[in-house]
Amino acid sequence: MDKKTEIIQHPLFSIIGGCGDKLNIQLFVIGGWVRDSLLKRVKKEIEFDIVSSGCGITLAKEVAKKLKIKKISIYRTFGTAAITYNSIKIEFNGARKESYHLSSRNPTIQSGTLKEDQERRDFTINAMAISLNKETYGNFIDPFNGIKDLNEKIIRTPLDPNQTYIDDPLRMLRAIRFATTLNFKIEINSLNAIKNNSERLNIIKQERITEELNQIILSDIPSRGFNLLSENSLLKLFFEEFELLRGVENRNGITHKDNFYHTLQVLDNISKQTDSLWLRWAAILHDIAKPKTKRFDKKNGWTFHGHEHLGCKMIPNIFKKLKLPLNENMKYVQKLVLLHLRPIALAKENVTDSAIRRLLFDAQNTIDDLMTLCFADITSKNKNKVHRYTKNLQIVYQKIKNVEERDKIRNWRPPIDGDFIMKKLKLKPSKLIGVIKLKIRESILEGEIKNNSKEAVELMYEIAKELNIKY
């Protein structure tokens, strides 16, 4: 049994094929399932793309009836339908051909042949099809030699790449996404077509661009994708802030590192440690304000003072522009960007328990992710410097764990709240309550009292006496 026959051993394919035979239509599994199966690439979410010589909606209804599925998603505009069976999403499309208008990536659709359907596909590796009808079951239809490109790890368009990318500019991002996630190369004519037609990306909705970008970010080595986006004039169109990190300036023989490549190294480093999209976004944005805070003086050379504070403030506008969620995920990224220098600063000096408690108080549940970011941020080419910085950060991290185990600051809540203070000191709501709470918090963080209600109450009464509060 060859690899192509193995692809259709799933029992659903014979059921779908039987439904096609009953309706007297030809049908094929095509696209991503074929590609990934040939690559033996395991994905969590399984999707079958079924294309037929008849109506996709009619076929979907017949398969749903056979599988006893009641819910069918129907898209009459495109003549397509989808069902889900045991977590497997199955999409049904009638074979079609498309024509495009320059102002939109949404095509005008007409019924077509399988060959015309394969011609409209974005890449040769996504145009391979396998027959599911009983008489031709397992026949491999590959008019553009996608199997060769798959074996040679090449991203190539079935037709003229210029026309392919002019028709649907999102395919330029998809080319880079596949090149990144599969570690393939984009064929030279296709690469030139991307460069020549990059401005066409402006007609694409930002949501679709960001969807592709996030998939690049979640790849094993996302720097590949960012380099391709930048080198082919796409990144500047939708993420100019990141593009502005690029470059090195020389003043009196003194240079600074290229923050574009430094950030990509941090991103690759952190991607080895986490699959979290938002932690990876924190790596992307941790130095985003460096171009705006860059200064040079003869004494200190190049500085980027305050880039963490400005970067934190820039994030809402960046998220809004990129159509990323303006929710707790954004706030999480902001917190990591704001705090990313703190552990590194602690590593350069004698670490006090007070400084550790304050870091824990500010970071709270993000402390472990913050430390992951800090370790990833060590990118020097000097191995001795990397070893020294890493060792110092490990000392800080161990100190954090020791202090947290003893003082429980990570999820800190005031041992006594405002209602308790008002009741015991017979006070009405006022700024005075905040003053007392602040003094108690500072005493805990400085280690003057322990983080418990008993010592907090004792201190509350001492503060009341100092403030001449009668209770």
In the chain, what are the domain boundaries? 3-152, 154-238, 418-466
Q: If you search the block for the tokens 């130095």, which residue do you land on?
A: 287
pLDDT tens, position by position, 287-310:
999 999 999 988 888 899 999 999
Identify the CA nearest to 132 among candidates 90, 186, 81, 98: 90
> Mean pLDDT in the chain?
91
Q: What would be the CATH architecture of the domain defined by 3-152? A: 2-Layer Sandwich (3.30)
Whole-structure pTM value: 0.88
Please give the Cα distance from 336 to 281 (Å, whole number).
10
pLDDT tens for each residue of 49-81: 999 998 889 999 999 999 999 999 998 877 899
154-238 is classed CATH 3.40.470.10: no
Give the number of other Cβ atoms within 10 Å of residue 450's Cβ. 15
Dihedral of the alpha carbons of 110, 116, 122, 126, in degrees to the nearest 10: 120
CA distance 279 to 369: 7
Helices (H), 137-232: 146-152, 161-167, 170-182, 188-196, 206-217, 223-231
Distant-in-sequence, close-in-space partners of 452: CB < 8 Å, separation ≥ 6: 415
Q: Which structure tokens are listed for 184?
A: 């393939």
261-270, 308-317, 319-328, 387-396: range with lowest mean pLDDT: 387-396
CB 398 within 8 A of CB 343: no
Q: Which of the 8 DSSP states describes residue 296?
A: E
Report, as an integer, the average pLDDT of 419-444: 90
Query: For 190-223, b where at least 16 C-beta lie within 10 A, e where not — what string?
Result: bbebbeebbebbeebeeeebbebbbbbbebeebb
- Count the helices and strands in the chain (H runs, E runs): 25, 15
